[in-house]
């Protein structure tokens, strides 16, 4: 696996592997907290050309 910035590396790796779907988790933050933290899941969802499935964390 590549080392570096997860946001870009996940997208590049999925395209290199010819993935049909990217599955990512989300921790439940929203609004300002999500924006301020720069969520990896949000970035992947907005920039992926591959469908993305978001799985929430079970509490």
| Measured distance CA(16)–CA(23) in Å, rounded | 16
Predicted pLDDT at 13: 94
Give the span between the Cα atoms of 22 and 12, in whole angstroms.
11
Q: Is-above-0.95 flag for pTM? A: no
Domains and CATH numbers, the chain: 6-56 (3.40.50.620)
| Residue 42 confidence (pLDDT) | 85
pLDDT over threshold 70, residue 3: yes
Which pLDDT value is given to residue 14? Answer: 96
Name beta bridge partners: 9: none
pLDDT over threshold 70, residue 36: no
List, as one string, the DSSP characters of 4-48.
Answer: S-HHHHHHHHHHHHT-S-EEEEE-S--HHHHHHHT-HHHHHHHH-
């Amino acid at each position: 696996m590549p080392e570096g910035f997860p946001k870009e590396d996940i997208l590049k790796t999925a395209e290199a592997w010819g993935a049909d779907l990217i599955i990512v988790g989300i921790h439940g933050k929203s609004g300002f907290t999500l924006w301020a933290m720069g969520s990896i899941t949000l970035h992947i969802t907005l920039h992926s050309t591959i469908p993305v499935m978001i799985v929430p964390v079970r509490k």
